[in-house]
Amino acid sequence: TCVNTTTKYLVFEIDGNEERFYCQNLCYIAKLFLDHKTLYYDVDPFLFYVMCEVDACGFHPVGYYSKEKYSDVGYNLACILTFPSHQRKGYGRFLIAFSYELTKKEEKVGSPEKPMSDLGQQAYKPYWTSTIVEFLLTTLHNKDQQQLQQSVANKNIANDHGHVEQSSNNYQSNTNDNTTACETTSTATAALILQQQQQPTTKIASSAVSMSIMDIAKQTSIMAEDIIFSLNQLGILKFINGVYFVNASKTVLEALKRKHPVKEPRVDPTKLHWTPFLTDVKRDKFSLHSKKSNVVEENYDADNVTSIGAIGGI
């Protein structure tokens, strides 16, 4: 059960094998509004997640999605429907985000059942793009904070070193002028290095964040092929010498975030109370524990590539 205490939403998990009649009725309702809906009788291998609005009168279903208990191809969602009377409220994106939160709990990567319908693509594209852009900006912000902290630490070390040298020079000024000159030169060199570290650069190796497609997948649980598709849709993915690169500065990513915002209502992972089915990690090719990063280091000049760097193979 997932509880959003701010707007009072609840999501219930229902096993199709235990509540066969109820789940069949959900499928019949979906068949009224989805032309491609074909499965409505054999609900045993599926789990159903019903989203409800909560008020003083009780629980009011507003939509649902279903997924297979175990998918050989890594699908984390089979069918999704927001009831027509509750559409245009963000509930479809909420259910999509919820499905990926469950996938994170399972420590897997997942994708909706393919081929997707036109309505499915319209629902998933905004979620993928907004989630990936937010992740890239967060990663970039964290690196900026680390560089700032490192710069402050280096500056403090340089100041402390200079203070010790100055005290030592005052104590030995009448007896060792040569040592004083050497120490002054050393202090000036340290300050110059610190200044050079603070200057911007256009080199990928020093100014960019290097990560692989799998690094993004591990944090978002979005399948690699969906990540590549979304980056292409955003127009920031380049393929150079067999290596994927995100060609976007921080300014470009912030503009994309304004264009593709993460809308409300949002899923609060801290309110998620759920235990996944136990599976054999070694045999599950969609488990994150079976994934390995593959970051390809490249170093070349590119004035317009200043924020996100090499993204290696899948």
b vs e for 39-60, b when ≥16 Cβ sit within 10 Å of the residue's Cβ? ebeebeebbbbbbbbeeeeeee
Please tell me the predicted confidence (pLDDT) of residue 249. 83
DSSP state of 117: P
Q: At 248, phi and psi to the nearest 5? A: -155, 130
SS3 content of the chain, % helix, strand, coil (to 5): 45, 20, 30
Cα torsion 98, 100, 106, 107: sign = negative
DSSP state of 118: H
Which residue shows structure tokens 């997707």? 116
On the question of a cis peptide bond just before residue 115, with omega within 30 degrees of 0, the verdict is yes
Give mean pLDDT in consecutive 10-residue pieces for the chain, a chain of 314 residues: 65 94 93 80 92 90 94 92 94 96 93 90 95 92 76 70 54 47 33 30 48 87 94 88 80 92 91 78 63 51 39 37
User: What confidence tens digit (pLDDT) does each residue in 110-156 have?
Assistant: 999 998 888 889 999 999 999 999 999 998 888 777 777 777 777 77
Q: Which residues are catalytic?
A: 113
| Ordered DSSP codes for 256-294 | HHHHS--PSS---GGGB---PPP--TTT-TTBGGG----
The CA–CA distances, whole Å, from 228 to 7, 120, 124 equal 34, 18, 14
